């Protein structure tokens, strides 16, 4: 999310960035999840929400005296089912330590959803969709170990059919006791992705069109008891209307995300909103004068996180809203993805010290006024989730035989003694 080239939006992808290579030129803000774009000089891709227009380069926050803060070395590599040197990515974790994501499979060109618990069975990855011939991706897990994900997604963009059409994206739910449950598509959608699940088993789903490019048509809540969808409404004043593009679902049934409106062939405008629990009434968040804003998560105390673009052509900046009525506050980074109830925020910032990947996983703690680089192999990393204890999950870039790849893993939470060595002031 820096010097950019033209992008082709091909599908609504999961809420992560995927892929790395030598001399990668970042193409757009990861967190802008509305599609997939190939990274310059690579065969890999980025997930986008959109705004695939040219942006400026951002800045990396620094430690005391201007020097980059040293990273923690607490990244726990979960590996891949296909063996060393093959990609995997973690997408979520729950409070008991279960981690979910996607892993390469041995002897195939597909990738499948996995679940793992570092405290049990040696932390080995367990494939959860072995009956599926195509790819699958786990995106979220609740406290009871129920997983939500999407069939047709793996690592990178969906593989087109010989006629150039994209595979059908279909949401699923999995649990150890009952196995795989493939959900129907929302009304009027040509495909769909499951993007979050809460402890009640309600699934947040984003629907796509049927034209083969996978543009969003709306967001929905799946009720597991009635097996029906509820549509998240756009503003009542909307006629042609922006599209509801939701990101996370909380335990009360509230949703964080945005309304996206197409303003060009491959350009989109974002307005950060929350849908209130119970009524699902839309509340637009204050912009602080920014051109584009998007909300990615909200905790039980009402603190909301996300990103904004201060002016057209600029890169994204991580932000948080102290409440739904408060003006946004900038964080030293690119995108804030998740926040726990303790107010620990995880996301990414620029990483200029790597030739492999342009972002580094960080944790912001506004109450303590500090930013902690979570650490990686000094090649870049990406954090997507955080649990109640401050443990977080995502991926780091690793190298084997001169080739870089993403590897799924999790980070221990920062400890009191970590600063000031590993932390920088906000």
Whole-number pLDDT of residue 392: 97
C-alpha–C-alpha distance, residues 39 and 27, integer Å: 6
Residues linked to residue 216 through DSSP beta bridges, in sequence order: 208
pLDDT surpassing 80 at residue 258: yes
Q: Which two tokens stand for residue 330?
A: 């900038």
Whole-number pLDDT of residue 161: 61
Q: Which two tokens stand for residue 306?
A: 């996300």
Instruction: Output the 3-class SS for the chain.
Output: CCCCCCCCCCCCCCCCECCCCCCCECCCCCCCCCEEEECECCCCEEEECCCCCCCCCCCCCCCHHHCCCCCCCCEEEEECCCCCCCCEEEEEECCCCCEEEEEECCCCCCEEEEEECCCCHHHCCEECCCCCCCCEEEEEECCCCCEEEEECCECECCCCCCCCCCCCCEEEEEECCCEEEECCCCCCCCEEEEEEECCCCCEEEEEECCCCCCCEEEEEEEECCCCEEEECCCCCCCCCCCEEEEEEECCCCCEEEEEEEEEECCEEEEEEEEECCCCCCEEECCCCCCCEEEEEEECCCCCEEEEEECCCCCCEEEEEECCCCCCCEECCCCEEEEECCCCCEEEEEECCCCCCCCEEEEEEECCCCEEEECCCCCCCEEEEEECCCCCEEEEEEEEECCEEEEEEEEECCCCHHHCCCCEEEC
Whole-number pLDDT of residue 34: 35
What are 203-254's pLDDT values in tens digits?
999 999 876 557 899 999 999 999 999 999 986 555 456 899 999 999 999 9
Instruction: Name the least confident of 157-171, 175-189, 390-404.
Output: 157-171
C-alpha–C-alpha distance, residues 359 and 24, integer Å: 11
Q: How much is the average pLDDT of 410-420? A: 76
pLDDT surpassing 50 at residue 159: yes
232 or 33, greater pLDDT:
232
Q: Which of 248, 257, 243, 242 is nearest to 208 (CA)?
A: 243
Question: Residue 295: pLDDT band by 50, 70, 90 thresholds?
Answer: very high
Whole-number pLDDT of residue 237: 55
Whole-number pLDDT of residue 33: 35
- Domains of the chain with bracketed CATH: 35-425 (2.120.10.30)
Q: How much is the average pLDDT of 2-25? A: 25
Whole-number pLDDT of residue 213: 59
Residues linked to residue 394 through DSSP beta bridges, in sequence order: 383, 409
Q: How much is the average pLDDT of 333-345? A: 97
Q: Which two tokens stand for residue 196?
A: 């979050």
Question: Residue 421: pLDDT band by 50, 70, 90 thresholds?
Answer: low
What are 35-50's pLDDT values in tens digits?
322 222 222 332 323 3
Whole-number pLDDT of residue 27: 25
Q: Which two tokens stand for residue 332?
A: 């030293």
Whole-number pLDDT of residue 13: 32
pLDDT surpassing 70 at residue 418: no
Q: Cα–chain-centroid distance for residue 154?
A: 14
Distance separating the N- and C-terminal Cα atoms of the chain: 20
Instruction: Show Cβ contacts of residue 167 under 8 Å, excluding neighbours closer than 6 positions.
Output: 134, 152, 158, 159, 160, 161
Q: How much is the average pLDDT of 76-99? A: 96
Question: Residue 312: pLDDT band by 50, 70, 90 thresholds?
Answer: confident
């Amino acid at each position: 999310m820096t010097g950019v080239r033209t992008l082709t939006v091909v599908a609504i992808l999961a809420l992560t960035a995927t892929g790395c290579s030598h001399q990668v030129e970042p193409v757009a803000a990861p967190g802008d999840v509305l599609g997939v774009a190939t990274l310059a000089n690579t065969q890999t891709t980025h997930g986008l929400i959109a705004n695939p227009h040219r942006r400026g380069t951002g800045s990396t926050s620094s430690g005391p005296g201007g020097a980059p803060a040293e990273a923690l070395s607490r990244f726990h590599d979960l590996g891949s089912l296909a063996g060393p040197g093959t990609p995997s990515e973690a997408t979520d974790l729950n409070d008991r330590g279960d981690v979910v994501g996607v892993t390469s499979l041995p002897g195939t060109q597909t990738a499948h959803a996995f679940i793992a618990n570092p405290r049990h069975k040696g932390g080995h990855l367990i494939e959860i969709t072995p009956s599926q011939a195509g790819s699958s991706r786990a995106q979220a897990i609740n406290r009871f170990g129920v997983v939500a994900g999407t069939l047709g997604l793996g690592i990178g963009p969906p593989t087109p059919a010989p006629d150039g059409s994209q595979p059908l994206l279909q949401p699923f739910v999995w649990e150890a006791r009952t196995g795989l449950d493939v959900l129907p598509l929302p009304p009027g959608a040509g495909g769909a992705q499951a993007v979050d699940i809460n402890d009640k088993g309600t699934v947040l789903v984003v629907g796509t069109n049927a034209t083969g490019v996978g543009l969003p048509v709306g967001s929905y809540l799946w009720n597991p008891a009635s097996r029906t969808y509820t549509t998240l409404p756009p503003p009542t004043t909307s006629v042609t209307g922006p599209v509801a593009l939701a990101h996370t679902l909380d335990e009360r049934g509230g949703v964080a995300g945005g309304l996206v409106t197409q303003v060009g062939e491959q350009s989109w405008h974002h307005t950060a909103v929350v849908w209130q629990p119970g009524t699902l009434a839309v509340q637009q968040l204050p912009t602080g004068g920014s051109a584009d804003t998007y909300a990615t998560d909200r905790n039980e105390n009402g603190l909301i996180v996300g990103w904004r673009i201060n002016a057209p052509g600029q890169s994204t900046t991580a932000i948080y809203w102290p409440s739904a009525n408060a003006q946004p506050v900038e964080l030293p980074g690119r995108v804030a993805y998740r926040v726990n109830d303790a107010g620990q925020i995880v996301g990414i910032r620029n990483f200029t010290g790597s030739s492999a990947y342009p972002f580094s996983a960080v944790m912001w703690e506004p109450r303590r006024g500090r930013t902690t680089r979570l650490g990686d192999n000094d090649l870049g990393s990406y954090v997507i989730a955080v649990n109640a204890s401050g443990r977080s999950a995502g991926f780091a870039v690793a190298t084997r035989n001169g080739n870089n790849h993403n590897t799924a893993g999790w980070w221990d939470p920062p400890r009191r003694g970590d600063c000031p060595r590993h932390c920088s002031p906000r």
